[in-house]
Chain A
């Protein structure tokens, strides 16, 4: 018996080392047949069991099964390893070749992206979006905003007028029923306030038009007008909301300042500056050495505007602001020529 057991152990060693050096599936199969096949070596040995006394047979049987299992496991493991080795030694794809796609990604215009960012910030602060016509009546664009005809403040707006059938008045500039391209989205303020009682909390994004074209002006550009009217709204709130906005869009570290200015439809009026995003306030070409960049105009709604729309200026107060979208986009992305926005060069559009 001892002899049979020793024989089995020997076979096991032999088989395992044969498996270890087998280099392909065929060799493994040969080994399997040779050792584990019906007529294989292990079975042949086990057939010798009949010469062994019956009480010892279970021991040998057990040993035989153990050896079979070990060989079987070794075969499987080796097979797995061989297959794995085959995957990595087989032919490889050139993974450096460009992938297959029908079409490159599309992009949203940087103005759209900037507008969305601006609107999102104000929407989160509880503002609503209002809209109005691009082609506007003079009354909404000027008169109702406390800019009477023949007021020098109209010089701040180079206006495109729309031709009318009626004979043109020689009394240039025009009367309040003139039709024109809105020069600012402030006209929407009036439309909103005329249509709803206070409180009002709106932003009004849109295209605006000025008769001006040079290196730093395009005849069409985009503005976001904002208006907040409620009881007890004051200049401190104007500063708070607009500072929070600038921090949201340019980062918490941005410096801001408010300085007195003039807009006919707000009083007190202010110009808001941010610390120069190019030089960080040290002074450079972009900020003309001042360290500050003009970013938006704002102010407390002039009582004359409230009276125009039928709000009681004693009861309601509010602030308004208007910001240029191109200006913000240029500063954010470092674009140095406003005209690029409207050339629609695909290499430009794809950068955003």
Chain B
């Protein structure tokens, strides 16, 4: 909310500069986000009077005006048609920066010096009129700056009001806070109505059909108003508070709303059919056209102000087009009401309208203040629009305000705040907030003022005490905490460890958005019924590109890869460890699983003089990293088997990662179509491992195996096998033989080409032998090795190279 400081001073005295005031308010909970002087440029605009108007010697359409600024006189060149002798005008002096960005300078126009510029209202940012130079009212003193003359030379505080403090959405509300701080009283604005004519309640009738939605409705009739612009002091204050002046009647309703926090609405009294106001809920499908010309379809939850013909206002939100004030308006029916905040909020949210009025009603206005606000506005209409206020306000108050009574236990204050504040001081603070206090021994009986809807429970009052006592005056201390604390969980520990290992292996961690574009599933070639498509969908996504939660980390990784490609980085290894989501059953919370995913693309190694020319990365770069990771977290005996059912992977260059018949993840080259869809420069290789599955395979505790005491002996064996023969088969076969003293078998060479028949390849294995209790002799090793090789040859029907 924008709070002009001088306006504030009308209601309460304070010894602070705007900056000090901002600091004090901030420290009591009304955060001041900024201090502005929105019209400071008007300090370089002065009120002048045109003494003579002479023709410009070199231009027909230009004139030279001699402008008196009191003691000084300036000759200003001007092209506007309306300049006249005796006219009071705004003169912008050199150095003045107008809202359009134009800076006024000393210039020469067609050979004549012009040390300033006469301005239109629009050029000064004070209205829409651009038909000519603004004719200022005669009561503005010549020589004063326009800022001063119009009352726009004020600092404005931008105060952020928390949702619980609807009572501070007014100048008086902020003044009350200052008064509580400085232990002063606020001055309420003047009301001095002279009622004339027939009483309002004889002419108009108000019926509240649904009192649960409208607790109070006050109406006043003001006859014979003279519509016109409001006086400048009022326009200035509205402008400072960020509201555009319109005409005196509308301005008065806005002015009183800013002053008291009570939104008001002025109807054209002659446009209320049968002079009967009915406050009721809308009928399903009923329609209203609001002042802004928009038509709304309503539901039975929306509250309306109607006359006997139908809706004339959307209660608490916006007036109807059919009852608004027009230049023909003669009589005004003024509404000041208390509407149920939830009712207003529901309608405002559903229709997507937020107005100054709805904002205040949603945060609750003071039901006891509706009458005063109506009085104040009526008085201003009498004063500023020559209105005649009809006797007797209409005041329908079906649900009268009942003061709340709350007990505050003094020891509870200490329990919550951790320090003792003396009872007298507590009483003092509460009284300064206009809370009625009845003192008991150790308890206070409290009645908050009607505008403080947030004060309902003991704790609410404790907060008030803390707030005004000053948080800065409450000491800091440490709680006594028993040493016993659970260590972080195994899962949390391993997740962090995995990230460290990945970083150690040269992978950079990314964090991508958890929501993705559902179209990505098509790009990933997933069939319509694929389980990865069963994801939570957002009802109100920001864009269609972030409309569903992800079921896999691959899209985010591809996106990151693509983003980097556009930054000329195509050689990379990125990983992410995060959640994915599966919506198994509608209306239930989805399943959330942690996954580790990664993407690798570019070369085997970083480009350098050692590896020049660089060689493009392949499947084995990825597999080697996965093997290293698994080994590092203690998972051994993992198998890699061909996969054929992951649609976004190359069917001949990808695998499932299996541990004891359980799939814990997959890895492989991205499918060429997917590659194309993302337009990646190099072939991308991706993987995903399920963290829960990994945790399930991890040993609870690593166990020590004694180190060998005797040396090993190794023998190599090379076999000629068909091209599609899988190396792992021989290893598995040998492993299953469970030969004593065979410690390890590993492949050391794969060869294809000269020296072996076409359509075959040669696989060379190294077999390592060791006995735990002695050094094996050559003869022994030779015997075992021969047996194994023969068994292999027989099993696979292959030959030795």
Contacts and interface: CB of A to CB of B under 8 A. Distances in A.
Q: Which residue, of A98, A243, A262, A347, has the highest number of chain B Cβ atoms within 10 A?
A: A262
Contacts of A160: 515, 538-541
B574 A344 contact: yes
B486 to A, nearest CB: 5
Q: Is the interface of A mostly helix, strand, loop or mixed?
A: mixed
Interface in A203-241: 207, 209, 211, 213, 219-220, 228, 230, 232-237, 239-241
Contacts of B707: none
Interface stretch (A21-29, A32-40, A170-178): A170-178
Interface in A323-352: 341-347, 349-350
Interface residues of A, number: 93
B474 A239 contact: yes
B479 A228 contact: yes
A129 B211 CA distance: 50
A106 B608 contact: no
Contact of A104 (B299, B471, B482, B606): B606
Given A163-B538, A344-B512, A101 B606 contact: yes
A241 B479 contact: yes
Interface stretch (B135-143, B239-247, B416-424, B645-653): B416-424
A310 interface: no
Given A150-B342, A347-B567, A219 B546 contact: yes
B275 interface: no
A100 B418 contact: no
B503 interface: yes
Contacts of A347: 567, 569
A165 B586 contact: yes
Given A172-B349, A239-B474, A109 B541 contact: no
B488 A109 contact: no
B363 interface: yes
A234 B460 CA distance: 16
Interface in B493-527: 496, 499-500, 502-515
Given A100-B608, A108-B499, A344-B564, A213 B542 contact: yes
Interface stretch (B157-165, B635-643, B730-738): B157-165
Contacts, number: 267
B477 to A, nearest CB: 4
A282 interface: no
A134 B579 CA distance: 9
Contacts of B782: none
B463 interface: yes
B474 to A, nearest CB: 6
A232 B415 contact: yes
A143 B572 CA distance: 45
Given A237-B477, A349-B508, A220 B513 contact: yes
Given A126-B485, A220-B513, A268-B467, A346 B567 contact: yes
Contacts of B537: 162-163
B499 A236 contact: no
Contacts of A106: 502-509, 573, 575
B362 A341 contact: no
Interface stretch (B24-32, B182-190, B325-333): B24-32
Given A257-B472, A345-B569, 10 more contacts: A100-B610, A103-B605, A181-B538, A201-B481, A235-B416, A235-B419, A241-B479, A260-B28, A267-B463, A342-B511
7 contacts: A102-B605, A104-B606, A170-B301, A209-B514, A234-B414, A239-B474, A302-B459
Closest 9 CB pairs of A and B: A234-B418, A260-B29, A103-B506, A236-B418, A262-B162, A165-B586, A106-B503, A152-B163, A268-B463
Interface of A: 97-98, 100-109, 111-112, 116, 123, 125-129, 131, 133-137, 150-153, 155-156, 160-166, 168, 170-173, 179, 181, 201, 207, 209, 211, 213, 219-220, 228, 230, 232-237, 239-241, 243-244, 257-262, 264, 267-271, 288, 300, 302-303, 317, 341-347, 349-350
